[in-house]
Chains A and B, each alone.
Chain A
Amino acid sequence: MHHANHFYGHAHVLARYAGLGDGHPPRINGYVQHGWNIGDGLAPGHPYVERTPSLLWSEQTRRRAWSVGRRNLVVIGAPFVYLLAMRAADPPPERREGTIWYPFHGWEGQHVRGDHRELIARIRDTEPGPVTVCLYWHEYGMRRVRRLYEDAGFRVICHGYRGHWWRDTDPYFLDKQLGELRRHRRVASNRLTSAIFYGIAAGCEPAVYGDPMVLADEDPTFGGTARIRRQWPELHGEVVDLPTAVAIARDELGTDHRCTPAALRELLGWANLQEGTS
């Protein structure tokens, strides 16, 4: 229903898992949480249609969403978890090496304030192996920012365009991300974000350090980065206890809440489709 369901090819991943093929996914009867979230699972300022189902990643997010007045909530786990299930039989990577580093991004309407050079220096001092920097498409398109990381000797990549208003979504965004994550031994960022949890689930050792940077117009409703550091201190630092991180990622991505294909079709409103994917 909402175009945010198509961000990062989420709807495409879910449709593939539900057995609807690789085509354009049908409308979802509800909002799929499209990123790790310390709020109610919906993006700030998201136009909300009353009692439309929120399809959330974790039980903690469900409780939080209920407490702020959201109803019709169901925990289905992150689309990334469905991708992992579909690609569980992939041959293991020949060699995991280096770090994939995700500098924190805002979305197109936001601007990050922070010093990239300082961050680059910190990454160089910390990371033991080769570094791949993954930029959000918005920053990847900014030649100046990209050059900064390239000049530092980092490999600079972008997983693709997340899409907007149902257009130009890269249906294999998450597949590309999973492929990259599985090539690296570590995943790191200057903020605790979806990518860190995806990396942990894909077998990387996580790290969160460096200037978290500040978003212009950052919504303070749910406490921002300060709260994230208070609530998940064990995931911050250059070295993080892996078993703890794996357990937290399992909860936050809702790995145990992954639905079966038939159950997912029911929950997304795909059980009685007039047409299949196109």
Chain B
Amino acid sequence: MTTQTSPADRIVLPGGEMLAWSDLPEGHSPAAEPLAALAALVVPAGARVLVAGPHDPALLDRLAHAEVTCLLRSYPDGVALAARAARVVVGGPAGLADDERFDVVIAGSGLDAVESVEGARLGWGGVLARLAGALRPGGTLLLRVDNPVGLRRLVDADPWYARRDDHAWTIAGVLDTDHPANREQVRDRLAQVGLHTRACFAAYPDPEAPRALIDADRLARHTTSGLFDALLHEACVDGLATATVLQDPARLAADALHAGLGAVLAPGWVVVASRQPAPDTADGPYAAPVPLPVALSRSGPDGEVLEVVDDPRGWRWRLRSADRRAEPAAPFATREAVHRDTATLDGEPVPEGRLLRTLLLDAALRRDLHTLRRLLHGYAAWLMGQAGPDGTLGDAAALATVDTVLVDEERYTLLDPSWRATVPVAAEVVLARGLRRFATTLVTGGYAHPWTSTLDVAGLTVVLAGVAGHDLDRATVAAAVDIEAAVTAAVRGLGTEGRAVLLSELRSVEPTDPPAGPRSYQQLREAWLRQREELKRVTALLKWTEDLLTSRERALRRAEVTINLLSGSMSYRVGRLAITPARLARRGARAARRRLRDAMATKPKEQQ
């Protein structure tokens, strides 16, 4: 809700602005979308909102139904965002008028980014008190707090205490008691300034660009949730795809989930808190706080945010209107291998169960071939059971892989059936694609497994298919690689060239390669160890082969000596003379047969 004043007139400069500084990323930061969706959820229509600190412009766009005041430290950022806000205050938190009150305060970049280099420092606690003071009774604070011992820091290749970038004029760390360092401390500090914590979301994989926000209490409780497993994995793989890290963040996130530490080790937390006392009178739209979702995650190339909400009937998918595309792309309107129809997901139940990939990895590590056989048999039977009479799978089932299928007892379900194949795919190719993805994870990820290092990725896929009870050939696996490239290119929004590069990469994956995605020191080292072991194996094999060859050559020489001796004997010569007519006759017959064959071959050509 912007006024008719010109953008320049909306900028207020109370002092403390940074003139040669910008916090905004150069490009659009799509990863901020779950945070923006959450912000839109807690801001009622017509509310007065303070957006404190730098935020992606997309977040402001989601708050068009409210009257937004931005509090920024950077003057260039103020100019850039002025068109999207009713007012922009450029300066430190001291620049807010003392008597100003807001219905909602959003500090999605944390409190450190609110303070300017100019003027006296308030510190984390001081800024919180200032912002809490700007909330009207019953108002809502949306606050991001970074975890000093969170996953992002744990996997970071650079130590947090040695930052050298321009933002690091001070470094906030766990040593500073003014900064809360865990969820309990955050709750206590909020309570000290009269705020009641309504909800806390774990932000993955990077607090600055969360792709998934998951209710922290549920994350800690539902340790075997396939939904959370898949959300964390996707967030870590996609969100840190180009990062250099110490260890695989997706592995660590899944381990944390299963240990009940998903919230404790979250890279950051997004807290929703209310100013107390609660309003004792119904006051327009602010009286009843909206129920908060279980999780919000960004998915797909269009950056749609899917919510999971708690419903009396169980968890359900929810797609807000702002995230709903006007018209789902019709299959005929696109030449892509897949298209997405999230609208059909809205209101559908979220299936329960554990993620198939996690169960398979666990069984592979424990060398539990019985469990592997049971799981893979079940997965293959579930796929084949959906195939049409022509043996093909269409729509969502054609895209089911071990990364997207949940297992509940003996029941297999696709977690998110909104992705659809444009054309049907042979069921065996779908199976091969799922198994090849798992084989790639297993070998390039450096996981211990029950098979030998002599298998390449295609070979391991064939072996896995055998465990699933299907005798696949390599041609089926090759067809699965083509489908994989087409599907991944469509999901990532790659063009023809990108797709060709992807296909080439997929075809050339070797078991001694590190996995695609974040460059992890641990996995790079592991890949090097695998290469070294393979070299050792091949060298030992070469030596054995050389020794064997020497021994066989010696045996051959002995045999030749014997033959020569026998060839020179009288009985050999007499025998050879005796069979000479037979040899000549045989030679003549062969020549006649050859001439006849040549004649037969040239005749049809002449007729042509």
Contacts and interface: CB of A to CB of B under 8 A. Distances in A.
B537 interface: yes
A178 B136 CA distance: 88
Interface in A219-273: 256-257, 259-267, 269, 271
Contact of A51 (B463, B465, B537): B537
Contacts of B543: 49
A88 to B, nearest CB: 16
Interface residues of B, number: 30
Nearest to B537: A51
Nearest to A3: B548
B369 A75 contact: yes
A169 to B, nearest CB: 17
Contacts of B325: none
A262 B466 contact: yes
Interface stretch (B286-294, B299-307, B453-461): B453-461
B467 interface: yes
A260 B544 CA distance: 30
A38 B579 CA distance: 56
Contacts of B208: none
Given A50-B540, A52-B541, A271 B367 contact: no
Contacts of B470: 260
A59 B370 CA distance: 10
Chain B binding site: helix, strand, loop or mixed by DSSP? helix
Contact of B463 (A1, A47, A267): A267
A51 B470 CA distance: 29
A59 B451 CA distance: 12
Among A29, A53, A62, A266, chain B packs the most CB atoms within 10 A around the CB of A266
Contacts of A257: 369
Contact of B369 (A29, A30, A59, A263): A59
A263 B462 CA distance: 6
A259 B372 CA distance: 13
A100 interface: no
Tell me which of A52, A75, A261, A267 has the highest count of chain B C-beta atoms within 10 A of its own C-beta.
A267
Given A50-B536, A256-B373, A267 B452 contact: yes
Nearest to A257: B369
B474 interface: yes
Given A262-B472, A263-B466, A266-B459, A52 B450 contact: no
Contacts of B455: 266-267
A277 interface: no
B505 interface: no
B452 A74 contact: yes
Given A262-B466, A271-B462, A30 B537 contact: no
B472 A74 contact: no
Interface in B479-514: none
Residue from B452, B463, B473, B544 with most neighbouring chain A CB atoms (10 Å): B452
A110 interface: no
Nearest to A166: B552
Contacts of A74: 450-452
Contacts of B452: 30, 53, 72-74, 267
A262 B369 contact: no
Contacts of B370: 256
Contacts of B311: none
Given A259-B466, A271-B459, A72 B453 contact: yes
Contacts of B463: 259, 263, 266-267
A27 to B, nearest CB: 10
Quick one: which of A1, A75, A262 has the most chain B CB within 10 A?
Answer: A262
Interface string A1-35: 10000000000000000000000000001100000
B533 A51 contact: yes
A49 B455 CA distance: 18
Given A49-B541, A59-B369, A262 B473 contact: yes
Contact of B540 (A51, A265, A266, A267): A51
Interface string A50-91: 111100000100110000000111110000000000000000
B539 to A, nearest CB: 9
B408 interface: no
A47 B547 CA distance: 12
B454 A72 contact: yes
Contact of A59 (B367, B459, B462, B540): B367
A94 to B, nearest CB: 34
B392 to A, nearest CB: 21
B450 A75 contact: yes
A51 B462 contact: no
Contacts of A72: 452-454, 537
A72 B453 CA distance: 6
Interface in B432-474: 450-455, 459-460, 462-463, 465-467, 469-474
Interface of B: 367, 369-370, 373, 450-455, 459-460, 462-463, 465-467, 469-474, 533, 536-537, 540-541, 543-544
Given A50-B537, A52-B544, A73-B452, 11 more contacts: A29-B454, A49-B543, A51-B537, A59-B367, A72-B453, A75-B369, A256-B369, A261-B471, A262-B462, A266-B462, A267-B451
30 contacts: A29-B454, A30-B452, A47-B544, A49-B544, A50-B536, A51-B533, A51-B540, A59-B367, A62-B367, A62-B450, A71-B533, A72-B453, A74-B451, A74-B452, A75-B369, A256-B369, A256-B370, A259-B463, A260-B469, A260-B471, A261-B471, A262-B462, A262-B465, A262-B466, A262-B471, A263-B463, A265-B462, A266-B462, A267-B463, A271-B474
Q: Which 8 A-B pairs have the closest CB atoms?
A: A263-B466, A51-B537, A260-B466, A266-B459, A53-B452, A50-B540, A260-B471, A49-B544
